Structure formats: structure tokens, C-alpha cells
Amino acid sequence: MPKVEIKRKLRLTRQEVSERLIALGKALADGSEIELSSGGDSIELAVGDSIVWELEIEIDGDETELEIELKWKDNPESDEVAGDDSAEGESDDSADDSADEDDSTALEAFAIEELEVAAELEDDAETKLELAAELEQEAAAELIVAAALEDDAEVELETAELLEVETPVWGDNPAAEGGTAEGGAAAGGNSAK
């Protein structure tokens, strides 16, 4: 068979991803053929009895990546040892069938467990995002308070500058005249003695 590669990348809700993975798990458990669809396209695949399962989880900051890779060969006989007697092969087939059922049930259970782990990781990521949003809101509130305090300080400085401006001398205010009236009286009093 020629090499075929199909890639689709979609943004789905957690519920949509869950439904697709459960459908895939059920198709694997029910039979040797599965139908996969994405973006309106679909493809039907024959699945081998022996599947290599690869799981990769990568967490980088606030981004989590979960990869599940399934591999199998179309011709499972190529994995068997040649030269078996047919009688032995028949008894092995019934044992293989029950083992396959056990394997598919175990595979489905494992897939469900992996989905639960993925859901927990997504919940953790959502919690971290919510916490970051709260911290961002608190920082914004603190910036607003700091700006208000800065405005109050500027108003107080302007008020202090206005109070420092000398007021004009009116009438006989000796304090405003810098004490000249007292100084004159004192000087006059000293000369009279």
C-alpha cells in the first residue's frame, strides 16, 4: 500500500474531543474497522489485532500537550513465527480471540482513564488561567489606587505652593510688614531714653 498521510487540526470543545475519543475507543473495542471523520471528510481503517500505544504528555508553562499515537500492521501474520502446525494454530486462534477481547476491553478502559487524566490536566490549566486573571485584576486595581494617590500628592503640592506665595501687606498688620512697626517703636523708644 502506498504511503498516505492525512492531517487535520481543529479547535474543539472538551465535550467534542471526549465524544470523538470515546467513539474511537468503542470502534476499536467493537471490531477491526474504524471510521474516522474530521472536517467533513471520513476514512475507514482496518485495525490490526496488535496495537502499539504511545502516550506523550508535555507541559510547558500554561500550555499542555497530550499526544496519543496508535500503530499497527495490516498483516498480523508477518509477526507470527512460520512453520506452525494447523492444529496448533486452531487452538491458538480461540485463545487469541479471548485475549483480543480482553485486550480491547483493557484498551478501552485505559483510553477512558487517559481521558480522565487529560480532563484533570485541562481543569488545572483552567484554574491557573483563572488565578492569573484574578492577579491581573488585582494588579490593575493597585495601579488605579497608585494613580489616585499620585493625583492626591500633586494636588497637595499645588496647594502647598499656593500657601507659600507671599500675601500683600494690608493696613497696619505688623506681622505682614515684617515687624517694622515694632522695630520703629523700639528704635524710637531707645532714642527717647
Task: Note the pLDDT of residue 104.
Answer: 65
- Rounded Cα gap, residues 120 and 101, in angstroms: 29
Q: Residues 44-85: pLDDT tens digits? A: 888 888 889 999 999 999 999 999 898 988 765 555 433 344
Q: Where are the domains of the chain?
A: 14-77+86-131
Task: Note the pLDDT of residue 153.
Answer: 87
Number of alpha carbons in the 13 Å side-chain half-sphere of residue 179: 3
Task: Note the pLDDT of residue 1.
Answer: 58
Question: Can you spell out the DSSP letters for 150-183?
Answer: HHHHHHHHHHHHHHHSPPPP-TT-TTTTTSHHHH
Strand ranges in the chain using DSSP code E only, listed in sequence order: 33-38, 41-46, 52-60, 63-71
Task: Note the pLDDT of residue 65.
Answer: 93
Give the total residue count for the chain.
193
User: Quick one: pLDDT band at residue 26, thresholds 50, 70, 90?
Assistant: confident
Q: Contact at 8 Å (CB) between 71 and 99?
A: no
pLDDT over 80 at 151, yes or no: yes
Provide mean pLDDT across the span 106-124: 80
Rg (C-alpha) for the chain, rounded Å, is 43
Q: What are phi and psi of 31, to 5 degrees?
A: -170, -170
Task: Note the pLDDT of residue 73.
Answer: 86
Helix axes 86-164, 14-30, angle to 10 degrees: 170
Q: Residue 41: what residue type?
A: D
